[in-house]
Amino acid sequence: MLIRSLTLATLLAFVGPLFAADDDSPLVKDVGRARPLIVIAPSSVDPVWVNLKKSLEDPANKQGVAQRNIKVYSVLNMFGQLDGKDLGQQDTMALIRSLNLGAGALPKVILLGKDGEKKIESSGAESKSVDLKKIFDTIDQLPAAEKEATVPTPAPVAEVAPVKGVKGAKGKPAKPAKPPEQPDE
C-alpha cells in the first residue's frame, strides 16, 4: 500500500503541472467584460512602461480607459499587477502562461479584445511606438459586435420538487456502506 501511494504521489508531482488548467489565468475573468492591456517589462524603469504609465495617469486618458473597459495588467521584473494592485505569484505566472509568449527579455505590449483575441501585440523596439492613442484607435476601429460582446449569464436553475410516493424519499438517510478491506502488501 505504501509503495502504491509513493508511486502515485511521484507521478502526480511530475505530471500535475502538465494538467494545470488554462482557466486559472486572471484573463479568463475578463473575457466578455473588459479589454486587458498587458505590459511586460524587465524592470519598472523600462521606457515602454514609463511612457504608458505616465499617459495612463493623465485624467483625460483615465476617462478613455474607463469608457473602453480597459484593465491594465503589468508584469515588471516577474511581479504582476492589475490596475496597480498586486497579483499573486501564481496569478502572474498563469497570466504569462496563458499568453504563450515564450522566453524573452524584451518589453511586450499586448491588447486583448473582449473576445479574448490579441488585437495588438508588439515586442522590443516596436513596443516603444505603442501609446494610448494607438490603443484607443485600435479599440474604436473594432467591429460593433466585438465592442458590445458580453458574457452570457447562465439561466437560473429551477428547483426540482420531490416525487411523492417513492419509497425512501423521506426519512432517515441510509448508512454508507463499509469499504472493503484491502490486504497489506
pLDDT at 93: 87
Exposure b/e, 65-81, CB count within 10 A at least 16 = b: beebebbbbbbbeeebe
Q: Among candidates 104, 113, 99, which has minimal Cα distance to 147?
A: 113
Q: How far apart are CA 15 and CA 13, in angstroms?
A: 6
Cα angle at 111 between 82 and 24, to 5 degrees? 50
Average pLDDT across the chain, whole number: 75
- Is the pLDDT at 151 greater than 50? The verdict is no
* Cell reading at 26: 486572471
Tell me which CATH homologous superfamily contains domain 23-147: Glutaredoxin (3.40.30.10)
Q: Which of 29, 79, 81, 37 is nearest to 55 (CA)?
A: 37
Per domain, the residue ranges of the chain are: 23-147
* pLDDT, tens only, 6-40: 676 665 555 555 555 445 778 888 788 888 888 88
**Which residues are within 8 A (CB) of 32 and not within 5 positions of it... i.e. 6 or more apart?**
114, 115, 149, 150, 151, 152
Show the cell assigned to 66: 474607463
Of the listed ranges 27-36, 92-101, 128-137, 143-152, the least confidently predicted one is 143-152
